[in-house]
Structure 1
Protein backbone atom coordinates (compact mmCIF):
# COMPACT_ATOMS: atom_id res chain seq x y z
CA UNK A 1 0.00 0.00 0.00
CA UNK A 2 3.01 2.31 -0.08
CA UNK A 3 3.02 3.03 3.65
CA UNK A 4 6.46 3.90 4.99
CA UNK A 5 7.61 1.68 7.86
CA UNK A 6 10.40 2.58 10.28
CA UNK A 7 11.90 -0.34 12.16
CA UNK A 8 12.55 1.02 15.62
CA UNK A 9 15.72 0.32 17.54
CA UNK A 10 15.64 -1.13 21.01
CA UNK A 11 18.56 -1.91 23.30
CA UNK A 12 22.10 -2.77 22.21
CA UNK A 13 21.51 -6.53 22.35
CA UNK A 14 19.02 -6.22 19.47
CA UNK A 15 20.94 -3.68 17.38
CA UNK A 16 22.70 -5.98 14.92
CA UNK A 17 19.63 -8.17 14.37
CA UNK A 18 17.52 -5.09 13.72
CA UNK A 19 20.01 -3.79 11.15
CA UNK A 20 20.21 -7.22 9.48
CA UNK A 21 16.42 -7.31 9.17
CA UNK A 22 16.44 -3.76 7.78
CA UNK A 23 19.08 -4.65 5.14
CA UNK A 24 17.11 -7.70 4.05
CA UNK A 25 13.86 -5.74 3.74
CA UNK A 26 15.58 -2.81 2.00
CA UNK A 27 16.65 -5.14 -0.83
CA UNK A 28 12.97 -5.67 -1.67
CA UNK A 29 11.22 -2.52 -0.47
CA UNK A 30 11.96 1.19 -0.77
CA UNK A 31 9.43 2.16 1.88
CA UNK A 32 11.41 0.96 4.89
CA UNK A 33 13.77 2.78 7.23
CA UNK A 34 15.32 2.24 10.62
CA UNK A 35 16.71 4.05 13.65
CA UNK A 36 20.28 4.64 14.79
CA UNK A 37 21.21 5.77 18.29
CA UNK A 38 23.87 8.41 18.87
CA UNK A 39 24.89 7.10 22.27
CA UNK A 40 26.30 3.85 20.83
CA UNK A 41 29.97 3.79 19.85
CA UNK A 42 29.15 1.68 16.79
CA UNK A 43 26.77 4.17 15.14
CA UNK A 44 29.35 6.00 13.01
CA UNK A 45 30.43 2.69 11.47
CA UNK A 46 26.77 1.66 11.08
CA UNK A 47 26.15 4.78 8.99
CA UNK A 48 29.15 3.90 6.82
CA UNK A 49 27.96 0.29 6.53
CA UNK A 50 24.43 1.35 5.51
CA UNK A 51 25.53 4.08 3.08
CA UNK A 52 25.03 1.97 -0.07
CA UNK A 53 21.46 1.17 0.98
CA UNK A 54 20.59 4.90 0.79
CA UNK A 55 18.61 4.52 4.00
CA UNK A 56 15.95 6.75 5.42
CA UNK A 57 17.12 6.94 9.03
CA UNK A 58 15.64 8.34 12.20
CA UNK A 59 18.59 9.52 14.29
CA UNK A 60 18.05 9.63 18.05
CA UNK A 61 20.18 10.06 21.15
CA UNK A 62 19.19 6.69 22.64
CA UNK A 63 17.05 5.90 25.65
CA UNK A 64 18.31 2.69 27.23
CA UNK A 65 20.70 2.19 30.10
CA UNK A 66 23.72 0.65 28.37
CA UNK A 67 27.16 -0.42 29.50
CA UNK A 68 30.03 2.06 29.04
CA UNK A 69 31.59 -0.73 26.98
CA UNK A 70 29.07 -0.08 24.18
CA UNK A 71 27.74 3.44 24.80
CA UNK A 72 29.01 6.89 25.66
CA UNK A 73 28.33 7.45 29.36
CA UNK A 74 28.53 11.27 29.17
CA UNK A 75 25.78 13.42 27.67
CA UNK A 76 28.37 15.75 26.15
CA UNK A 77 29.87 12.88 24.15
CA UNK A 78 26.44 11.66 23.09
CA UNK A 79 25.56 15.16 21.85
CA UNK A 80 28.81 15.43 19.88
CA UNK A 81 28.27 12.01 18.32
CA UNK A 82 24.66 12.96 17.51
CA UNK A 83 25.91 16.01 15.60
CA UNK A 84 28.51 13.88 13.84
CA UNK A 85 26.02 11.28 12.62
CA UNK A 86 23.50 13.92 11.54
CA UNK A 87 26.19 15.55 9.41
CA UNK A 88 27.45 12.23 8.01
CA UNK A 89 24.03 11.00 7.01
CA UNK A 90 22.87 14.29 5.50
CA UNK A 91 26.10 14.73 3.54
CA UNK A 92 25.72 11.17 2.24
CA UNK A 93 22.58 12.56 0.57
CA UNK A 94 20.13 10.41 2.47
CA UNK A 95 16.82 11.32 4.07
CA UNK A 96 17.32 12.09 7.73
CA UNK A 97 14.80 12.32 10.54
CA UNK A 98 16.36 14.18 13.46
CA UNK A 99 14.33 12.98 16.43
CA UNK A 100 15.07 15.29 19.33
CA UNK A 101 13.58 17.81 21.71
CA UNK A 102 17.02 19.33 22.33
CA UNK A 103 17.29 22.92 21.10
CA UNK A 104 21.07 22.70 20.67
CA UNK A 105 20.71 19.74 18.29
CA UNK A 106 17.84 21.42 16.44
CA UNK A 107 19.83 24.63 15.98
CA UNK A 108 22.91 22.66 14.90
CA UNK A 109 20.85 20.87 12.25
CA UNK A 110 19.34 24.13 10.99
CA UNK A 111 22.82 25.68 10.63
CA UNK A 112 24.22 22.56 8.97
CA UNK A 113 21.53 22.37 6.29
CA UNK A 114 21.92 26.08 5.62
CA UNK A 115 25.72 25.84 5.35
CA UNK A 116 25.60 22.88 2.94
CA UNK A 117 22.47 23.98 1.02
CA UNK A 118 20.64 20.81 1.96
CA UNK A 119 17.00 21.10 0.87
CA UNK A 120 14.23 20.84 3.46
CA UNK A 121 12.90 17.89 1.46
CA UNK A 122 15.92 15.80 2.60
CA UNK A 123 15.26 15.93 6.33
CA UNK A 124 12.69 16.44 9.03
CA UNK A 125 12.48 16.97 12.75
CA UNK A 126 10.56 14.54 14.92
CA UNK A 127 9.18 14.91 18.42
CA UNK A 128 6.85 12.96 20.65
CA UNK A 129 3.24 14.05 20.89
CA UNK A 130 2.72 16.17 23.98
CA UNK A 131 6.32 17.29 24.35
CA UNK A 132 7.13 20.86 23.31
CA UNK A 133 4.11 21.51 21.05
CA UNK A 134 5.01 25.21 20.76
CA UNK A 135 8.48 24.30 19.44
CA UNK A 136 6.90 21.85 17.01
CA UNK A 137 4.62 24.58 15.68
CA UNK A 138 7.52 27.05 15.46
CA UNK A 139 9.61 24.65 13.37
CA UNK A 140 6.65 24.03 11.06
CA UNK A 141 6.08 27.81 10.69
CA UNK A 142 9.77 28.18 9.78
CA UNK A 143 9.15 25.80 6.87
CA UNK A 144 10.67 22.63 8.29
CA UNK A 145 8.93 19.28 8.13
CA UNK A 146 7.95 18.51 11.71
CA UNK A 147 6.64 15.01 12.35
CA UNK A 148 4.91 14.35 15.64
CA UNK A 149 4.76 10.72 16.62
CA UNK A 150 2.56 8.86 19.03
CA UNK A 151 3.61 5.64 20.79
CA UNK A 152 0.98 3.01 20.06
CA UNK A 153 0.53 -0.66 20.86
CA UNK A 154 0.80 -2.89 23.88
CA UNK A 155 4.12 -1.40 25.07
CA UNK A 156 3.31 2.27 24.42
CA UNK A 157 3.74 3.23 28.06
CA UNK A 158 7.21 1.67 28.37
CA UNK A 159 8.29 3.34 25.14
CA UNK A 160 6.96 6.70 26.28
CA UNK A 161 8.64 6.42 29.69
CA UNK A 162 12.01 5.53 28.11
CA UNK A 163 11.76 8.68 25.97
CA UNK A 164 11.05 10.74 29.08
CA UNK A 165 13.95 9.12 30.93
CA UNK A 166 16.21 9.96 27.99
CA UNK A 167 15.85 13.59 28.92
CA UNK A 168 14.26 14.26 32.34
CA UNK A 169 13.45 17.84 31.32
CA UNK A 170 10.84 16.29 29.01
CA UNK A 171 8.74 15.50 32.09
CA UNK A 172 8.36 19.24 32.69
CA UNK A 173 7.24 19.74 29.06
CA UNK A 174 4.59 17.02 29.44
CA UNK A 175 3.31 18.39 32.75
CA UNK A 176 3.10 21.93 31.35
CA UNK A 177 1.13 20.59 28.41
CA UNK A 178 -1.28 18.72 30.64
CA UNK A 179 -1.98 21.65 32.94
CA UNK A 180 -2.22 24.19 30.10
CA UNK A 181 -5.22 22.40 28.57
Structure 2
Protein backbone atom coordinates (compact mmCIF):
# COMPACT_ATOMS: atom_id res chain seq x y z
CA UNK A 1 0.00 0.00 0.00
CA UNK A 2 1.84 3.07 -1.27
CA UNK A 3 0.33 6.20 0.27
CA UNK A 4 2.69 8.64 -1.46
CA UNK A 5 1.43 11.09 -4.03
CA UNK A 6 1.80 10.50 -7.75
CA UNK A 7 4.53 13.14 -8.01
CA UNK A 8 6.44 11.52 -5.13
CA UNK A 9 6.32 8.17 -6.89
CA UNK A 10 7.44 9.84 -10.11
CA UNK A 11 10.32 11.67 -8.41
CA UNK A 12 11.44 8.89 -6.08
CA UNK A 13 10.52 5.81 -8.08
CA UNK A 14 7.97 3.14 -7.35
CA UNK A 15 10.19 1.22 -4.90
CA UNK A 16 11.98 -2.11 -4.94
CA UNK A 17 8.94 -4.30 -4.30
CA UNK A 18 7.58 -3.53 -7.77
CA UNK A 19 10.19 -5.93 -9.15
CA UNK A 20 8.83 -8.84 -7.07
CA UNK A 21 6.23 -10.66 -9.20
CA UNK A 22 4.24 -11.89 -6.19
CA UNK A 23 3.74 -8.35 -4.86
CA UNK A 24 0.90 -6.15 -6.03
CA UNK A 25 1.42 -2.47 -5.35
CA UNK A 26 -1.73 -0.47 -4.62
CA UNK A 27 -1.28 3.29 -4.88
CA UNK A 28 -3.68 5.30 -2.72
CA UNK A 29 -2.35 8.80 -2.14
CA UNK A 30 -3.59 10.64 0.91
CA UNK A 31 -2.79 14.04 -0.60
CA UNK A 32 -4.88 16.03 -3.02
CA UNK A 33 -2.98 15.69 -6.27
CA UNK A 34 -1.84 18.51 -8.48
CA UNK A 35 1.20 20.09 -6.83
CA UNK A 36 4.74 19.84 -8.11
CA UNK A 37 5.69 17.39 -5.39
CA UNK A 38 2.93 16.12 -3.13
CA UNK A 39 0.39 18.70 -2.09
CA UNK A 40 -1.70 21.14 -4.08
CA UNK A 41 -1.52 23.94 -1.54
CA UNK A 42 2.02 23.54 -0.29
CA UNK A 43 3.52 22.49 -3.64
CA UNK A 44 6.50 21.00 -1.86
CA UNK A 45 7.62 17.54 -0.82
CA UNK A 46 6.07 17.63 2.63
CA UNK A 47 2.98 19.76 3.23
CA UNK A 48 3.60 20.53 6.89
CA UNK A 49 6.46 22.97 6.31
CA UNK A 50 4.62 26.01 7.62
CA UNK A 51 5.59 26.59 11.25
CA UNK A 52 3.08 29.26 12.26
CA UNK A 53 0.56 27.01 13.99
CA UNK A 54 0.98 25.22 17.28
CA UNK A 55 2.67 21.88 16.55
CA UNK A 56 -0.15 19.74 17.96
CA UNK A 57 -2.81 21.57 15.97
CA UNK A 58 -0.66 21.66 12.85
CA UNK A 59 0.01 17.91 12.86
CA UNK A 60 -3.59 17.08 13.76
CA UNK A 61 -4.76 19.35 10.96
CA UNK A 62 -2.64 17.53 8.42
CA UNK A 63 -3.76 14.15 9.70
CA UNK A 64 -7.40 15.13 9.52
CA UNK A 65 -6.69 16.65 6.11
CA UNK A 66 -5.86 13.20 4.74
CA UNK A 67 -9.39 12.11 5.62
CA UNK A 68 -11.01 15.33 4.42
CA UNK A 69 -9.11 15.45 1.10
CA UNK A 70 -8.93 11.75 0.25
CA UNK A 71 -11.63 9.69 2.01
CA UNK A 72 -11.76 7.57 -1.16
CA UNK A 73 -8.10 6.60 -0.77
CA UNK A 74 -8.44 5.90 2.94
CA UNK A 75 -11.42 3.57 2.47
CA UNK A 76 -9.93 1.92 -0.64
CA UNK A 77 -6.60 1.28 1.09
CA UNK A 78 -8.32 -0.29 4.10
CA UNK A 79 -10.43 -2.45 1.75
CA UNK A 80 -7.31 -3.72 0.03
CA UNK A 81 -5.91 -4.63 3.44
CA UNK A 82 -9.16 -6.40 4.28
CA UNK A 83 -9.84 -8.25 1.04
CA UNK A 84 -6.60 -8.98 -0.83
CA UNK A 85 -4.65 -12.17 -0.33
CA UNK A 86 -1.41 -12.20 1.60
CA UNK A 87 0.22 -9.78 3.97
CA UNK A 88 -0.06 -6.02 3.62
CA UNK A 89 2.82 -3.57 3.79
CA UNK A 90 1.76 0.05 4.23
CA UNK A 91 4.18 2.88 3.55
CA UNK A 92 4.55 6.52 2.63
CA UNK A 93 7.84 8.45 2.65
CA UNK A 94 8.80 8.22 6.32
CA UNK A 95 6.21 5.68 7.43
CA UNK A 96 4.89 7.71 10.35
CA UNK A 97 2.30 10.30 9.30
CA UNK A 98 0.19 8.99 6.41
CA UNK A 99 1.07 5.42 7.35
CA UNK A 100 0.39 6.15 11.02
CA UNK A 101 -3.08 7.50 10.28
CA UNK A 102 -4.06 4.55 8.07
CA UNK A 103 -2.70 2.03 10.57
CA UNK A 104 -4.50 3.81 13.44
CA UNK A 105 -7.77 3.45 11.53
CA UNK A 106 -7.08 -0.21 10.72
CA UNK A 107 -6.27 -0.95 14.35
CA UNK A 108 -9.44 0.86 15.41
CA UNK A 109 -11.50 -1.38 13.13
CA UNK A 110 -9.71 -4.42 14.58
CA UNK A 111 -10.75 -3.39 18.07
CA UNK A 112 -7.32 -2.41 19.39
CA UNK A 113 -7.30 -0.25 22.50
CA UNK A 114 -6.53 3.42 22.13
CA UNK A 115 -3.39 2.82 24.18
CA UNK A 116 -2.20 0.12 21.74
CA UNK A 117 -2.88 2.40 18.76
CA UNK A 118 -0.86 5.20 20.33
CA UNK A 119 2.00 2.81 21.18
CA UNK A 120 2.07 1.54 17.59
CA UNK A 121 2.24 5.11 16.27
CA UNK A 122 4.98 6.20 18.66
CA UNK A 123 7.09 3.11 17.86
CA UNK A 124 7.97 4.70 14.50
CA UNK A 125 10.23 7.07 16.40
CA UNK A 126 12.55 4.22 17.35
CA UNK A 127 14.08 4.32 13.86
CA UNK A 128 13.53 7.96 13.08
CA UNK A 129 17.20 8.86 12.67
CA UNK A 130 17.71 6.15 10.04
CA UNK A 131 14.50 7.11 8.25
CA UNK A 132 15.52 10.78 8.16
CA UNK A 133 19.01 9.91 6.92
CA UNK A 134 17.46 7.99 4.02
CA UNK A 135 15.08 10.83 3.18
CA UNK A 136 17.83 13.48 3.41
CA UNK A 137 19.62 11.67 0.58
CA UNK A 138 16.71 12.69 -1.69
CA UNK A 139 16.23 16.15 -3.17
CA UNK A 140 12.47 15.61 -2.85
CA UNK A 141 12.58 15.65 0.95
CA UNK A 142 15.94 17.19 1.91
CA UNK A 143 14.97 20.87 2.11
CA UNK A 144 12.08 20.24 4.47
CA UNK A 145 14.09 17.92 6.68
CA UNK A 146 17.06 20.27 6.85
CA UNK A 147 14.85 23.25 7.74
CA UNK A 148 14.29 22.06 11.30
CA UNK A 149 15.77 19.77 13.96
CA UNK A 150 15.30 16.01 13.64
CA UNK A 151 13.30 15.96 16.87
CA UNK A 152 10.58 18.06 15.18
CA UNK A 153 9.79 15.03 13.00
CA UNK A 154 9.35 12.65 15.94
CA UNK A 155 5.91 11.02 16.23
CA UNK A 156 4.49 12.05 19.59
CA UNK A 157 1.65 10.32 21.38
CA UNK A 158 -0.30 13.55 21.67
CA UNK A 159 -0.41 13.95 17.87
CA UNK A 160 -2.29 10.71 17.21
CA UNK A 161 -4.32 11.10 20.43
CA UNK A 162 -5.51 14.53 19.33
CA UNK A 163 -6.27 13.25 15.80
CA UNK A 164 -8.35 10.39 17.20
CA UNK A 165 -9.99 12.86 19.57
CA UNK A 166 -11.08 14.96 16.59
CA UNK A 167 -12.74 11.86 15.09
CA UNK A 168 -14.39 11.16 18.45
CA UNK A 169 -15.70 14.72 18.74
CA UNK A 170 -16.86 15.15 15.14
CA UNK A 171 -18.06 11.65 14.25
CA UNK A 172 -18.21 9.56 17.40
CA UNK A 173 -14.94 7.79 16.56
CA UNK A 174 -12.99 6.29 13.66
CA UNK A 175 -15.64 3.69 12.77
CA UNK A 176 -18.47 6.20 12.35
CA UNK A 177 -16.19 8.30 10.13
CA UNK A 178 -15.45 5.25 7.99
CA UNK A 179 -19.14 4.34 7.81
CA UNK A 180 -20.00 7.89 6.74
CA UNK A 181 -17.58 7.37 3.85
CA UNK A 182 -18.94 4.08 2.56
CA UNK A 183 -17.28 1.55 4.87
CA UNK A 184 -19.62 -1.36 5.56
CA UNK A 185 -20.14 -3.98 8.24
CA UNK A 186 -18.80 -6.54 5.72
CA UNK A 187 -15.63 -4.43 5.44
CA UNK A 188 -15.38 -4.41 9.25
CA UNK A 189 -15.72 -8.18 9.42
CA UNK A 190 -13.15 -8.77 6.66
CA UNK A 191 -10.52 -6.44 8.14
CA UNK A 192 -11.05 -7.74 11.66
CA UNK A 193 -10.65 -11.29 10.40
CA UNK A 194 -7.38 -10.42 8.62
CA UNK A 195 -5.89 -8.45 11.51
CA UNK A 196 -6.92 -10.76 14.31
CA UNK A 197 -5.88 -14.08 12.72
Q: TM-score range by the shorter chain?
A: 0.3 to 0.5
Bigger share in helix: 2
Q: Which structure has more RCO (C-alpha within 8 Å, separation ≥ 6)?
A: 2
